[in-house]
């Protein structure tokens, strides 16, 4: 089972039709993600990594090719692929408790099961004292914990994360990364995690898919063999970081030249 | 310390009205103005008390003392006006809310309805008075119609804008958690647009209140608006002013309740910290 492809990305292309020329966001992306893998999609902004994540989530379907999850083609969003957004996307009119149990209530789970799950998640994510607070009263890190709990409540086999820790300060970020790794290894989830931080990708991932800028293609597929817990001061960590930095910087330069070039005409 | 400070700042608000009243009283007593044109505040207060209290003495055979207290003209007028504005508002907002939600959520319905709405919206509700009387005669029906009309458009327009302004990330999050269209509407779109809807409600009830006073001056023979027009017939300027202050206090009371409700319903909202 471990080597079974859980997410198959089959020759996916995505073209955004603009008012001027069409933008090819993704071009012929083709790879598989196996069950339980922690995959980071890494690349400069605009490289289409979020577009690919949205295609897996079912928010925006590919122009060509298909995404197959668990043997079924993705045609719409679903609770089997829980999404954690960069902007938290908590419902501000609901308390922490209501946000977390929202999906379970939709599924019409039994009240005692909901309460049980809620207690467990509040404990795991250290939110017990905050269950009746509204999101506005929470810090960014707390909000993202609630967003993770909300997704975990439905026990999805796959978690999709779109730069979830991008807006957090370094310390909060590290502690949430550690908690995510713990959740991932305890609950055996498949995680697809979008980031533009090289260090974050190396710290977290089993596998880093480096994407190129327009058209978005897979530039390199790296398996990270460094044992966990990983130390950013470790020489292996730094060697990989240097290697990936060069790759990402090259793409970043291409991106800058492309945007500067396009202002000329 | 904090208590003393807030008491002091509240006292600040007392000075200006106190001075206005003293000057006003002095001007009238000095005979500088005709009391028929501008009665002294003391005269207004006396009239206000008479307007409040029942005309007949308390008679135990006629019912309880409480019922007697509430049988005065002012209390009945207040109740009539309040009931009217509430009924009109509930009808107007009750029609505007579902229509606004539909128009905000569906481009189709919006395209069908919008031209008609845009043509009708700039017509002040007051301009419907002749038609209202023609259609509904005199009494409560035309008044309630005008109030409902006054409340309808603000609630409608704000609801449309509110629904359209719902951040698409909430819709995506809802879909991702498995919400179907009905739940999406009830649990996400309606609460997310609540800040807009409630500001429409506040404007709507204000417009309805104005319509209520106008309607009572024209189509009804009770209520606060009718009473101050009636007082004019008898040159009771003290009663006119007492009536005006009563209208103001009713308006203030309604606005306070709406504002409290607003704060409660939007207790999750960032703007209200």
Tell me the domain boundaries of chain A. Answer: 5-80+158-264, 91-155
**pLDDT given at position A246:** 87
The residue written with tokens 């509204």 in the block is A134
**Closest to A134 (Cβ–Cβ): which among B176, B178, B268?**
B268
**Closest to A154 (Cβ–Cβ): which among B170, B177, B188?**
B177
pLDDT exceeds cutoff 70 at A265? no
Q: Residue B220's domain spans which residues?
A: 66-272
> Is residue B112 included in any domain, yes or no?
yes
Task: Return the higher-pLDDT residue of A179 and B58.
Answer: A179
Q: What is the DSSP string of B165-191?
A: TS-HHHHHHHHHTT--HHHIIIIIIHH
The domain that holds B140 is classified in CATH as: 1.10.3720.10
Q: Do A106 and B191 touch (CB under 8 A)?
A: no
Read off the pLDDT band of B3 (50, 70, 90).
Answer: low
Q: Residue B175: its chain A contacts at CB < 8 A? A: 59, 76-77
**pLDDT given at position A1:** 41
A51, exposed or middle or buried, with CB in 10 Å at 0-12, 13-18, 19+?
A: buried
Three-state secondary-structure class, residue A66: strand
Q: How many domains are contained in chain B?
A: 1
Question: Is the CB of B65 inside 8 Å of chain A's CB atoms?
Answer: no
**Which of B165, B167, B177, B262 would you mutate first to test chain A, the one with the most A CBs within 10 A?**
B177
Percent of chain B at pLDDT > 70 equals 97
Task: Return the higher-pLDDT residue of A24 and B257.
Answer: B257
A197 Cβ contact list (under 8 Å, min separation 6): A166
Please tell me the number of Cα atoms within 13 Å of B42 on its side-chain side. 7
**pLDDT given at position B20:** 95
d(CA A62, CA A28) in angstroms, rounded, equals 10
**pLDDT given at position B271:** 65
pLDDT tens digits, B66-122: 888 888 899 999 999 999 999 999 999 999 999 999 999 999 999 999 999 999 999
Size of interface A-B (CB pairs under 8 A): 67
Task: Provide ipTM, 2 decimals.
Answer: 0.87
Angle between helices B224-233 and B237-265 (to 10 degrees): 170
> Is residue B34 included in any domain, yes or no?
no
Question: Is the CB of B168 inside 8 Å of chain A's CB atoms?
Answer: no
- The distance of A61 to chain B (nearest Cα, Å) reads 14
Task: Return the higher-pLDDT residue of B154 and A72.
Answer: B154
pLDDT exceeds cutoff 90 at B202? yes
Task: Return the higher-pLDDT residue of A81 and B60.
Answer: A81
**pLDDT given at position B160:** 97
Three-state secondary-structure class, residue B208: helix
B154 Cβ contact list (under 8 Å, min separation 6): B200, B201, B203, B204, B207
Q: Do A134 and B179 touch (CB under 8 A)?
A: no
Task: Return the higher-pLDDT residue of A45 and B120.
Answer: B120
- Domain spanning A5-80+158-264 has what CATH number? 3.40.50.300
φ, ψ of residue A218 to 5 degrees: the values are: -80, 115
pLDDT tens digits, B119-130: 999 999 999 999
Q: Which of A16-30, B25-39, B106-120, B144-158 has the lowest mean pLDDT?
A: A16-30
pLDDT tens digits, B260-273: 999 999 999 876 44
d(CA A83, CA A54) in angstroms, rounded, equals 9
Nearest CA in chain A to B264: A93
> Is residue B20 included in any domain, yes or no?
no
């Amino acid at each position: 089972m471990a080597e079974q492809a859980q997410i198959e990305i089959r020759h996916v292309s995505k073209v955004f039709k603009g008012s001027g020329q069409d933008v090819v966001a993704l071009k012929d992306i083709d790879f598989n993600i196996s069950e339980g893998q922690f995959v980071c999609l890494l690349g400069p902004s605009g490289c289409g990594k979020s577009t690919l994540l949205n295609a897996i989530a079912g928010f925006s379907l590919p122009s060509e090719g298909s995404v197959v999850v668990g043997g079924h083609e993705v045609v719409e969003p679903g609770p089997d692929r829980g999404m954690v957004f960069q902007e938290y996307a908590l419902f501000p009119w609901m308390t922490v408790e209501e946000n977390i149990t929202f999906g379970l209530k939709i599924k019409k789970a039994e009240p005692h099961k909901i309460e049980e799950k809620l207690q467990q998640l509040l404990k795991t994510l250290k939110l017990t004292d905050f269950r009746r607070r509204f999101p506005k009263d929470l810090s960014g890190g707390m909000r993202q914990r609630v967003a993770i709990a909300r997704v975990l409540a439905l026990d999805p086999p796959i978690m999709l994360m779109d730069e979830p820790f991008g807006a957090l300060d370094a310390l909060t970020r590290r502690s949430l990364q550690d908690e995510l790794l713990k959740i991932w290894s305890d609950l055996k989830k498949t995680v697809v995690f979008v980031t533009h931080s090289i260090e974050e990708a190396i710290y977290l991932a089993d596998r880093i898919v480096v994407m190129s800028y327009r058209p978005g293609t897979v530039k390199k597929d790296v398996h990270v063999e460094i044992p966990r817990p990983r130390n950013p001061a470790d020489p292996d960590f730094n060697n990989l970081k240097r290697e990936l930095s060069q790759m990402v910087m090259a793409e970043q330069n291409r991106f800058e030249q492309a945007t500067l070039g396009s202002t000329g005409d | 310390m904090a208590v003393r400070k807030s008491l002091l700042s509240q006292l600040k608000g007392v000075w200006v009205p106190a001075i206005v009243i003293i000057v006003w009283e002095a001007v009238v007593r000095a005979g500088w103005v005709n009391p028929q044109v501008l009665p002294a505040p003391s005269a207004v207060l006396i009239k206000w008390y008479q307007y409040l209290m029942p005309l007949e003495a308390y008679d135990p055979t006629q019912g309880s003392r409480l019922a007697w207290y509430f049988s005065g003209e002012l209390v009945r007028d207040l109740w009539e006006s309040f009931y009217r504005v509430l009924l009109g508002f509930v009808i107007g907002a009750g029609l505007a809310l579902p229509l606004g939600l539909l128009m905000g959520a569906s481009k189709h319905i919006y395209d069908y309805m919008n031209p008609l709405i845009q043509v009708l919206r700039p017509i002040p509700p007051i301009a419907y008075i002749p038609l209202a009387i023609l259609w509904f005669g005199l009494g409560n029906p035309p008044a309630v119609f005008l109030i409902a009309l006054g409340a309808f458009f603000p609630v409608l327009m704000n609801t449309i804008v509110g629904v359209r302004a719902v951040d698409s990330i909430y819709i995506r999050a809802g879909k991702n958690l498995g919400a179907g269209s009905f739940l999406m509407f009830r649990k996400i779109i309606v609460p997310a647009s609540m800040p807009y809807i409630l500001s429409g409600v506040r404007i709507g009830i204000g417009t309805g209140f104005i319509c209520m006073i106008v309607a009572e001056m024209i189509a009804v023979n009770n209520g606060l608006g009718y009473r101050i027009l009636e007082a004019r017939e008898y040159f009771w300027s003290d009663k006119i002013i007492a009536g005006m202050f009563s209208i103001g206090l009713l308006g203030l009371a309604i606005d306070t309740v709406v504002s409290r409700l607003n704060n409660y319903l939007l207790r999750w909202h960032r703007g209200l910290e």
